[in-house]
């Protein structure tokens, strides 16, 4: 089978009369196959089985892996806790000072759970052939914050920008190598999650996030591999910084006005979002979920590059009735 041309895929979505949906969701698939979050984030086969189950059940425009922002930090040596049915999290602080940054080594791709994630992506790319498969990775600023502490990295960029840039360069180098390895599995792109950069001003977001992401984009994005930049921390103040990366698609969180975001995204790039994964997907009634979905579709109807999505990864224990309501609303809108 010939490799999917992602530039053509994006163009087809833009030219299409109907809106397509690409919610970021894996947790419902984990529950469908009777496994725990811990099982999926530690075992590539289980992770893949969840992705596959979801791709068979829902008419998504693409399949996505778990948005796990601890994989790369663990590879560097950070301590991770693994609750049975919640996403993993980083404990404490790997780097205590500038000297630790200087001594920090960029890890090999066989560290931590990286091999399990590469396995999940390889299996998904091999068997899900009716739509693109998007891998996941963290962004450089968000990774630096997980290694150095989120509050401390924000201070470091002002107190010692040289040390901050040194850490960001190491993070970026590792993410680039990881993205190259993900690309080699045969997946069609990567959703790069950079939520911590949303805490920065547009200018600082450009300087301490976008310039590093742009370098990665320039090295990995091509006709067959798309970078989707996700920043759910952006409330509208740093969309320009996101667009400066040159990614082919942008994924927005529920805190932003999606119409305002669409105004700043180039017409030939996809803009995805942004229904609240917690208050809507997880906690709302199906009726409220459906109405919110229809409202968003109505508000964005004049933007052909809009892709309907969740504002972030849908959490564990998201009711299937709400996912069904989401797709029912899309179907109703497209057939109106």
Q: Work out the average pLDDT over 292-315.
A: 97
Secondary structure of residue 272 in the 3-state scheme = strand
Other beta carbons within 10 Å of 316? 18
pLDDT of residue 103: 98
The DSSP string of 98-145 is HHHHHHPPPPPTTSTTHHHHHHHHHHHHHH--SS-EEEEEE-HHHHHH
pLDDT at 57 over 60: yes
Q: Name the band, by pLDDT with cuts 50, 70 and 90, for residue 3.
A: confident
- Name the phi and psi angles at 88, rounded to 5: -65, 160
Cβ count near 107 (within 10 Å): 18
Checking if the pLDDT of 1 tops 80, the result is no
The percentage of residues in the chain with a pLDDT greater than 70, rounded to a whole number, is 99
- Per-residue pLDDT, averaged over 111-130, amounts to 98
CATH number of the domain enclosing 203: 3.20.20.210
- Joined together, the tokens standing for residue 222 give 């091509």
Which residue range forms the structural domain that includes residue 238? 4-333
* pLDDT (tens digit per residue) in 25-34: 999 999 999 9
The mean pLDDT value for 225-242 works out to 97
Q: How many helices (H) does the chain have, and how many strands (E)?
A: 16, 9
- Sign for the CA dihedral angle at 288, 290, 293, 298 comes to negative
The domain total for the chain is 1
Q: Give the orientation angle of helix 211-220 with respect to helix 140-148, to 10 degrees.
A: 130
Q: Quote the CA–CA distance of 172 and 137 in Å, as a whole number.
A: 11
Contacts of range 99-106, beta carbons closer than 8 Å, 24 or more positions apart: 101/148, 101/163, 101/166, 101/167, 101/170, 102/163, 102/166, 104/76, 104/147, 104/167, 104/170, 106/170, 106/173, 106/174, 106/177
Residues 126, 130, 133, CA angle at the centre, nearest 5°? 55
Q: For a pLDDT cut of 90, what percent of the chain falls above it?
A: 99
**Residue 49 predicted with pLDDT over 70:** yes
Mean pLDDT of the chain: 97
The confidence score (pLDDT) of residue 2 equals: 58
Q: What is the pLDDT of residues 311-333, one digit of tens each?
A: 999 999 999 999 999 999 999 99
Residues, the chain: 336
User: Taking the alpha carbons of 12, 14, 16, 21 in that order, is the dihedral positive or negative?
Assistant: positive
């Amino acid at each position: 089978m010939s490799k999917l041309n992602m530039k053509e895929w994006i163009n087809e979505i833009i030219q299409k009369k109907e809106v397509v949906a690409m919610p970021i969701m894996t947790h419902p698939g984990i529950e469908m196959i009777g496994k725990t979050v811990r099982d999926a984030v530690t075992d590539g086969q289980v992770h893949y089985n969840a992705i596959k189950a979801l791709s068979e059940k829902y008419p998504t425009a693409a399949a996505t892996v778990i948005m796990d922002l601890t994989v790369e930090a663990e590879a560097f040596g950070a301590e991770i806790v693994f609750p049975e049915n919640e996403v993993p999290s980083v404990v404490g602080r790997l780097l205590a000072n500038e000297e630790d940054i200087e001594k920090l080594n960029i890890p090999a791709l066989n560290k931590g759970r990286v091999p399990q994630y590469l396995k999940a992506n390889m299996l998904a790319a091999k068997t899900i052939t009716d739509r693109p498969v998007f891998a996941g990775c963290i962004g450089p600023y968000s990774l630096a914050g997980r290694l150095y502490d989120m509050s401390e990295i924000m201070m470091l960029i002002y107190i010692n920008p040289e040390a901050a840039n040194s850490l960001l360069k190491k993070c970026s180098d590792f993410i680039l190598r990881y993205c190259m390895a993900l690309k080699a599995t045969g997946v069609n792109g990567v959703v790069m999650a950079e939520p911590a950069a949303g805490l920065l001003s547009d200018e600082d977001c450009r300087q301490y996030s976008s310039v590093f992401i742009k370098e990665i984009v320039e090295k990995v994005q091509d006709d067959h591999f798309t970078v989707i930049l996700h920043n759910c921390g952006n409330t509208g103040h740093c969309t320009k910084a996101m667009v400066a990366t040159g990614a082919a698609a942008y994924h927005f969180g529920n805190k932003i006005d999606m119409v305002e975001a669409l105004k700043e995204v180039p017409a030939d790039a996809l803009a995805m979002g942004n229904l609240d994964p917690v208050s809507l997907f997880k906690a709302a009634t199906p009726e409220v979920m459906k109405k919110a979905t229809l409202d968003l579709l109505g508000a964005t109807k004049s933007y052909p590059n809009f892709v309907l999505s969740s504002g972030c990864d849908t959490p564990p224990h998201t009711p299937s009735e709400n996912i069904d309501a989401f797709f029912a609303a899309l179907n109703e809108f497209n057939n109106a």
